[in-house]
Amino acid sequence: MSAIVRKIINTSTAPAAIGPYSQAVVVDRTMYISGQLGMDTASGQLVSGGVQAQAKQALVNMGEILKAAGCGYENVVKTTVLLADMNDFTNVNDVYKQFFASNFPRQGCLPGGRPAQRRAC
């Protein structure tokens, strides 16, 4: 059996991990991105402007991690959204469509009790 190829992805253009984890890990040809909040990379604080601004920033952060791995949004096959308020689902999807214009990845949405967050692999 051949060895599994595993590569850690970290970039300074997305918020640094705030715990003992990587921004992303590539295993063979699949990338697992850690959950991204709507945090400003420079300040480390959530962006102001509500759930849509935070969702947009989370997707921008995810894009920076994708780029660091030589990928783009078109390579994403699955996302999970955690929302503090499920009433924000439509507003977050409006932002989502700005980043995923066609051939949408699979998406799940769960009440998370925290600010808008994106997960992708």
For the chain, how far is it from start to end, CA to CA, in angstroms?
A: 25
- 109 belongs to the catalytic site: yes
70: confidence class by pLDDT, cuts 50, 70, 90: very high
- State the average pLDDT over residues 108-116: 74
pTM of the predicted model as reported, rounded to 2 decimal places: 0.88
58: confidence class by pLDDT, cuts 50, 70, 90: very high
CATH number of 6-120: 3.30.1330.40
* Per annotation, catalytic residue among 73, 109, 119, 121: 109
* Rounded percentage of the chain residues whose pLDDT exceeds 70: 92
